Amino acid sequence: MDKILQIGDAFIEQSTVFSELIQELKQSFSNKDVMVPLRHHHDFPNLEVNSESTLLLMPAWNPGKVAGVKIVTVNPENSRFNLPSIQGTYIYFNALKGTIKAIIEAKSLTVKRTAAASALASSYLSKKDSKSLLMIGTGALSINLIKAHASVRPIKNVFIWGRHMEKAEAIAAELQNEKFHVYPIETIEEKISEVDIISSATLSKTPLVLGELLKSGQHIDLVGAYKPDMREANDEVIKKSSIFIDTYQGGLKESGDIVIPLKNGILKEKDIKADLFELCSNQKPGRQNINEITFFKSVGHSLEDLTAATYYYNKYTNE
């Protein structure tokens, strides 16, 4: 039996080139080789912290080649323990033999592929000359979203907001040697009307991106709010924007940013312009003009995990 490789945080962090990973995702979304069932989503009580946690099981397979399943828990109150909210592992299989090729640290894999998917969408939806970015949220995703967006657009200035200013300041310090400048800000309102791209990755149950403050030509990238009772943008954002999602399979069911407007009649399913499969295969267009406000909602997809797992496995084995 072949040795099972262990691919950890450090390797993933050191080996990621966002332009490469984005291209791999684009290739995967442009064909239909990978089969992806709807992911298992189970909420369970976490009484000690008076909150619900979530168990996610996310399988995918390319028949006769590779397969994988991500097992993840999401614990919104993990900041109390100085831990990221996302924990888990990815099991990567030889789909022909059913043997395990590698066990990959899922937290790092998830944040990298999520950021890369947002940047992939941005390459179709944001203005090509986008130079400024507002990052809402200071969790594990924020640094990766900033770097990924900057890999597809000529970002010069990044403004970052979080509920704790010291976290925003720490991220700015960590990114001080990048080609762009990062500025912590005290309120979202002071910059939201000025930037070209707004990216939000929070677990907020009340909207942080308000449509009343938007300007023409902006791109909105929503990555957090992974449950139907959570949302990061209000109804006015929906009314003003052209709506795109990562996949119809999960995007229509899992996040309040889409589910609540659909339920309330603010949004109709037919109003959604395209998903990543349609964008990457050129079945449907992205941004149509410089004044359009584009809105991308990501809930994650197992295709992204399998693509990222293959990317890191090949790098690890020099294939």
Rounded CA gap, 89 and 111, in Å? Answer: 13
Whole-number pLDDT of residue 18 = 97
Rounded CA gap, 169 and 162, in Å? Answer: 10
Mean pLDDT for 200-221 is: 94
Whole-number pLDDT of residue 319 = 67
The 8 Å CB, 24+ separation contacts for 151-154 are 151/18, 151/19, 151/22, 151/119, 152/19, 152/22, 152/119, 152/120, 152/122, 152/123, 153/122, 153/123, 153/126, 153/128, 153/129, 153/196, 153/197, 154/129, 154/130
Instruction: Name the band, by pLDDT with cuts 50, 70 and 90, for residue 39.
Output: confident
Mean pLDDT for 50-63 is: 91
Whole-number pLDDT of residue 72 = 87
Largest CA distance in the chain: 60
Strands 181-184 and 157-161: parallel
For 54, the token pair is 């979530």
Q: Is the pLDDT of residue 158 over 80?
A: yes
Model confidence over 244-260: pLDDT tens digits? 999 887 777 778 889 99
Model confidence over 223-243: pLDDT tens digits? 987 778 889 999 999 999 999
Q: Is the pLDDT of residue 94 over 90?
A: yes
Mean pLDDT for 56-75 is: 92
Rounded CA gap, 305 and 69, in Å? Answer: 8
What average pLDDT does the chain have?
93
Rounded CA gap, 112 and 287, in Å? Answer: 24
Q: Is the pLDDT of residue 10 over 70?
A: yes
3 state SS of 83: coil
Rounded CA gap, 238 and 256, in Å? Answer: 12
Q: Is the pLDDT of residue 202 over 80?
A: yes
Q: Kindly report the pTM of this predicted structure.
A: 0.90
Whole-number pLDDT of residue 270 = 93
Residue 142: how many CA atoms within 13 Å on its side-chain side?
Answer: 26
Whole-number pLDDT of residue 214 = 96
* Domains delineated in the chain: 5-109+303-317 (3.30.1780.10), 116-301 (3.40.50.720)
Detail the DSSP E strand segments found in 48-147: 51-62, 66-74, 86-94, 100-105, 132-136
Whole-number pLDDT of residue 83 = 85
Q: Is the pLDDT of residue 47 over 90?
A: no
Whole-number pLDDT of residue 76 = 83
Higher pLDDT: 49 or 293? It is 293
Percent of the chain's residues with pLDDT above 90: 74
Q: Is the pLDDT of residue 56 over 80?
A: yes
Whole-number pLDDT of residue 1 = 58
